[in-house]
């Protein structure tokens, strides 16, 4: 299994309880998805970055429950990440369902002695050597981007 870890993200104003509470219920992402899908400023930023703003339409195809998130993936079809384990105020483990390979994602949250918390994402995927060469760098970059995005969520507003 290939292993990809994000950098540790510090959340100085957020307690472990706040972070865990938000991330352990995937339905809390619904307002964020709806805002992104309908936000003309985000569409403009995508255009400036040379990307197609029509990609935002795909966010409307995302299905959320408290335990899972399903989304379309090119050439694969519908893919689902499902929470398979929760360790209160420490870790959330998600598994890929309906994917052509076995993959797990861990979101680890720990308190920081100076206050606040820190978070790290770990992705383990069953990739053969060819797949590692083709998508390994993209997975490394993607796991860091996902950690950055999660670190920017408004946890203290819960």
pLDDT on residue 145:
93
2-25+85-157 carries CATH number 3.30.530.20: yes
pLDDT > 80? residue 76: no
Containing 111, the helix (H) or strand (E) segment is strand 103-111
Judged by DSSP in three states, 3 sits in strand
- Residue spans per domain, the chain: 2-25+85-157
Smallest Cα–Cα separation from 55: which of 73, 32, 76?
A: 73
Residue, of 77 and 111, whose pLDDT is higher = 111
Q: How far is CA 110 from each of CA 21, 31, 82, 85, 99, rounded to the nearest angstrom?
A: 13, 26, 22, 17, 30
pLDDT on residue 157:
60
Judged by DSSP in three states, 76 sits in coil
What average pLDDT does the chain have? 90
- Tell me the percentage of the chain whose pLDDT exceeds 70: 99
């Amino acid at each position: 299994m290939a292993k990809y870890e994000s950098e540790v993200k510090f959340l100085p104003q957020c307690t472990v309880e706040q972070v865990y509470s938000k991330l352990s219920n995937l339905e809390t992402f619904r307002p964020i998805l709806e805002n992104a899908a309908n936000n003309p400023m985000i569409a403009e930023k995508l255009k400036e970055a040379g990307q197609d703003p029509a990609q935002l339409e795909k966010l409307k195809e995302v299905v959320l429950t408290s335990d899972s998130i399903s989304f379309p993936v090119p050439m694969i079809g519908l893919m689902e990440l499902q929470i398979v384990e929760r360790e209160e105020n420490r870790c959330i483990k998600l598994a890929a369902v309906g994917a052509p390979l076995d993959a797990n994602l861990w979101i680890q949250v720990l308190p920081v002695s100076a206050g606040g918390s820190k978070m790290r994402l770990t992705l383990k995927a069953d990739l053969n050597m060819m797949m590692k060469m083709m998508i390994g760098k993209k997975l490394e970059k993607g796991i860091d981007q996902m950690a950055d995005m999660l670190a920017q969520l408004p946890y203290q507003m819960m």
